[in-house]
Amino acid sequence: MARIPKGSRRWRLVRRTLYVLAVGAGGLCVAIGIMYARTKVPPVNAAARAQSSTFTYRDGTTLAQVGRLNRVAVPLRDVPPYVRGAVLAAEDRGFYRDPVVSPSGLGRAVWAAVSGGSRQGGSGIAQQYVKVAYLNPEQTMSRKVKELFIAVKLSRSRSKDWIFEQYLNTVYFGRGAYGVQAASQAYFRKNVGALSPAEGALLAGLIQAPSYLDPALGHTAQTRARWRYVIDGMMSTGVLPKGPPPAFPPVAPAHTESTYAGQRGYLIERVIGELHAHGFDDDQIYRRGLRVTSTIDQRTQAALPEEVGHATGGDRDLEVGLASVRPGTGEILAAYGGRDYLTHQYDNAFLAALPPGSSFSPFVLATGLRAGIGLRSTFAATPAGPVVNDNDAKATSANLLTATVRSYATVFSRLGAKVGASAAARAGLPGRLPPSGVHAVDQAAAYAALVNGTYAAPHILAKVTDRSGKVLLDVRPRTRTAFSPAVAADVTFALQEAILSDAKADHAARPFLPGRPTAGTIGTTDHNAAGWFCGYTPDLATAVVVYRASNRPVVNIGDAPQRSSADVPAKIWRAVTENAETNVPARPFPPPAWVGSTRNFAPSSPPPTTPPPPTPVRTTPPASAGPTAPPKRPSVTKPSGTDRPMPGKTAPSRTPKSTG
């Protein structure tokens, strides 16, 4: 590289640049020195500032108070070496070797703060302790700088053993437990000194995301991966001998206190889950006195246990999941996760993924309408490979309106093979055939989109304020167009006819509500492994699913889908809808638009066996007889494919047949 001649113009420019950089660096050092000198180590505020958060129903009535300072301090010598080693392996493997503040970690945190990227990471054990014990949890640059300076000052006045001991007695492990002793009791019902290495590794792994990684609440695969990361770290640091890892330890049930009894525990977990999704951490939720307003309607929610109990008739093997969603906003107005959270912490409304069976057919129909295939179009209704109709009903052919009314899976199997199910994906459901397992809450939101074609993502949070009343979060609907209003009107018309047909035929499942426009359909599955009823009015969409805890069929009448498997869901749906809309004025659905053309996809002979559909929309059952043939049922497997397996249950070995 050529040398720059001294005295040249270029040399003077380089010299001035170096001078400016040197002055800037010196000024920065002086500024940092002044800031460091002025930063005082404040008194520990964790216990003094701890305050429970209040969750409320949409009307402001208290749903629950969460958060209590459950802490029992223990000296470092009482924590087994392998438990200490597990925490170090999980959070700061160089804690005793490296400076108390990691320059590289701080650099990553500063860059993230400046660039607007992820602000997680960058803090070792000392900085984590400072954040929890002395500062607020806000992810700001000023807080990060204070955290750094206080950590450095602490390291000059305190030993690393002291800092580590304070950290172990302060850090949050989930379940309301602050500190390793409280966590040991919460997860394993024993003192910290009695923990095994595997149990210590699990607790250490939880620190990263306590509520999310609790193996009793879900995401078991992620929890095991984190646990194995800690075990590997313990082996690499010599805390554990290298070799086969120990067995993953079982944990005690979560949240056995009465606050979580009945339906309340499911709602609390849903609210906390959404708070996490919006960036609130456990310290804010459990200790910062938030006021969280949910979308849950107290009157509708309070009636669910009695309505479900009446419909199930004391059948303790029958599990029920339910969600009610407001069309256009996605607000969850009510949800039923199981009989009692304290005995069944697997949420049937949000976690149980069950094949939708024939309840998926409306979205295949919407896809066909979008493709220009109108309601009067005809398809063969004979068995399509393994797909048969409900109660093994026989039919030669049917138009799409009649196939919807009678739940002919064979027709929708053929329609799906021709057009697919892309409309389902726009409504928040799987967009492929056969569809994979779906959750009741997603079904409710998808059916809500059939009111006018607008899909709104389901949510349970309405607003979050701090204890001074400052609004921290005001949730707005997240919407998109799922299908055109004309397509939605035609699907709704067909589903209104389905409910009217059930009322006229006097089926046990009678979701018809006199004087109130309603639309919906049953959902049947192979082997009768689950039963659905999904329906809506212009103001409320509700999905109800049942399955057996024993993995036996809902009704044991052979393998053909049976309409009676949806009787209980239909009864529950009617009771919930009737109660929720007691004081809501009835509004009509739009009339059918009759989009698309009439096409014949059935064999040329014999001619179609069903007459053209009627066009008027009725609000009461007609006097004359109409389509009464038994409807079709798709096959179902028990909850599978979820992050968390159902306690004490295994997925059935049989594979569900393809259904509409």
| Phi/psi of residue 593, nearest 5 degrees | -95, -15
Question: 536 and 421 in one domain?
Answer: yes
Say yes or no to pLDDT of 238 above 80. Answer: yes
Question: 351 and 423 in one domain?
Answer: yes
Structural domain contains residue 642 = no
Question: Contact 540/646 with Cβ under 8 angstroms?
Answer: no
End-of-domain residue from the set 562, 580, 598: 580
Distance CA 261, CA 143 (A): 39
Question: 252 and 380 in one domain?
Answer: no
Among the residue ranges 224-228, 291-295, 371-375, 508-512, the one predicted with the least confidence is 508-512
Question: 214 and 326 in one domain?
Answer: no
Question: Contact 456/328 with Cβ under 8 angstroms?
Answer: yes
Question: Contact 653/375 with Cβ under 8 angstroms?
Answer: no
Question: 345 and 237 in one domain?
Answer: no
Residue 617's pLDDT is 44
CATH number at residue 107: 1.10.3810.10
Distance CA 307, CA 199 (A): 42
- Sequence-distant (≥ 6) Cβ neighbours of residue 360 within 8 angstroms: 421, 424, 429, 435, 438, 523, 634, 659, 660
Residue with tokens 């997680």, as numbered in its chain: 120
Residue 147's pLDDT is 62
Say yes or no to pLDDT of 336 above 80. Answer: yes
Question: Contact 240/231 with Cβ under 8 angstroms?
Answer: yes
Question: 329 and 229 in one domain?
Answer: no
pLDDT, mean of residues 137-160: 66
Say yes or no to pLDDT of 616 above 50. Answer: no
- Sequence-distant (≥ 6) Cβ neighbours of residue 539 within 8 angstroms: 326, 327, 581, 584, 587
Distance CA 288, CA 138 (A): 12
Residue with tokens 């960058």, as numbered in its chain: 122
Structural domain contains residue 24 = no
Distance CA 351, CA 141 (A): 37
Q: Is 463 exposed, middle or buried (0-12, 13-18, 19+ CB in 10 A)?
A: middle
Three-class SS of 535-590: EECCCCEEEEEEEECCCCCCCCCCCCCCHHHHHHHHHHHHHHHHHHCCCCCCCCCC
Residue 135's pLDDT is 54
* Cα-Cα-Cα-Cα dihedral sign, residues 549, 550, 552, 556: negative
Type of residue at 260: Y
Distance CA 612, CA 618 (A): 16
Distance CA 424, CA 447 (A): 10
Residue with tokens 């529950």, as numbered in its chain: 572
Beta-bridged to residue 541, according to DSSP, are 325, 536
End-of-domain residue from the set 241, 258, 275: 258
Q: Which CA distances in Å does 55 have to 137, 463, 465?
A: 20, 10, 11
List the domain range (segments joined by +) for residue 343. Answer: 317-458+477-580
Say yes or no to pLDDT of 151 above 90. Answer: no
Say yes or no to pLDDT of 544 above 50. Answer: yes
Say yes or no to pLDDT of 627 above 70. Answer: no
Residue 297's pLDDT is 98
Q: Which CA distances in Å does 180 have to 172, 201, 257?
A: 8, 12, 20
Question: 60 and 147 in one domain?
Answer: yes
Beta-bridged to residue 447, according to DSSP, are none
Residue 631's pLDDT is 34
End-of-domain residue from the set 239, 258, 277: 258
Residue 560's pLDDT is 82
Percent above pLDDT 70 for the chain: 76
Question: 230 and 133 in one domain?
Answer: yes
- 281 or 84, which is more confident? 84
Structural domain contains residue 263 = no
Question: Contact 454/481 with Cβ under 8 angstroms?
Answer: yes
Residue 119's pLDDT is 40
Structural domain contains residue 45 = no
Confidence at 141, pLDDT banded by 50, 70, 90: low
Confidence at 632, pLDDT banded by 50, 70, 90: very low
Residue with tokens 């040991």, as numbered in its chain: 184
Token digits for 57? 């129903």
Residue 86's pLDDT is 97
Q: Which CA distances in Å does 575 have to 262, 449, 518?
A: 19, 22, 13
Question: By three-state DSSP, how is residue 443 classified?
Answer: helix
Residue 511's pLDDT is 77
Residue 585's pLDDT is 93
Say yes or no to pLDDT of 481 above 90. Answer: yes
Say yes or no to pLDDT of 406 above 90. Answer: yes
Q: Give the tens place of pLDDT for each residue, 63-118.
A: 998 876 677 889 999 999 999 999 999 999 988 888 766 555 555 544 544 454 44
Domain total for the chain?
2
Residue 239's pLDDT is 93
Q: What is the mean pLDDT of the chain?
A: 82
∠ at Cα 594 (591, 597), nearest 5°? 180
Question: 407 and 538 in one domain?
Answer: yes
Distance CA 443, CA 97 (A): 53
Question: 211 and 332 in one domain?
Answer: no
Token digits for 115? 């660039």
> Between helices 361-370 and 485-505, what is the axis angle to 10°?
140
Question: 496 and 367 in one domain?
Answer: yes
Q: Give the tens place of pLDDT for each residue, 241-269.
A: 998 999 999 999 888 888 899 999 999 99
CATH number at residue 360: 3.40.710.10
Residue 645's pLDDT is 33
Say yes or no to pLDDT of 655 above 50. Answer: no
Task: Sort strands 479-481 and 454-456 into parallel, antiparallel or unpaired.
Answer: antiparallel
pLDDT, mean of residues 220-234: 94
Structural domain contains residue 601 = no
Question: Contact 172/178 with Cβ under 8 angstroms?
Answer: yes
Structural domain contains residue 35 = no
Residues in the chain, overall count: 660
CB atoms closer than 10 angstroms to residue 317: 12
pLDDT, mean of residues 211-225: 86
pLDDT, mean of residues 422-447: 96
Residue 510's pLDDT is 65
pLDDT, mean of residues 114-130: 61
Token digits for 308? 């479900």
Distance CA 375, CA 402 (A): 9
Distance CA 152, CA 407 (A): 70
DSSP per residue over 112-174, as a string?
HHHHT--------HHHHHHHHHHS-----HHHHHHHHHHHHHHHHHS-HHHHHHHHHTTSB-S
Confidence at 144, pLDDT banded by 50, 70, 90: low
Residue 513's pLDDT is 85
Say yes or no to pLDDT of 143 above 90. Answer: no
Distance CA 273, CA 517 (A): 35
Q: Give the tens place of pLDDT for each residue, 174-209.
A: 888 889 999 999 999 999 999 999 999 999 999 998
Residue 524's pLDDT is 92
Active site residues: 91, 358
Structural domain contains residue 589 = no
Question: Contact 124/95 with Cβ under 8 angstroms?
Answer: yes
| Phi/psi of residue 599, nearest 5 degrees | -130, 155
Structural domain contains residue 566 = yes
Confidence at 446, pLDDT banded by 50, 70, 90: very high
Residue 39's pLDDT is 44
Task: Sort strands 461-465 and 291-294 into parallel, antiparallel or unpaired.
Answer: antiparallel
Question: 376 and 517 in one domain?
Answer: yes
Nearest Cα to Cα of residue 559 among 638, 631, 639, 656 = 656
Percent above pLDDT 90 for the chain: 58
Confidence at 643, pLDDT banded by 50, 70, 90: very low
Say yes or no to pLDDT of 542 above 90. Answer: yes
pTM for the whole structure: 0.74
Question: Contact 303/581 with Cβ under 8 angstroms?
Answer: no
Say yes or no to pLDDT of 325 above 60. Answer: yes
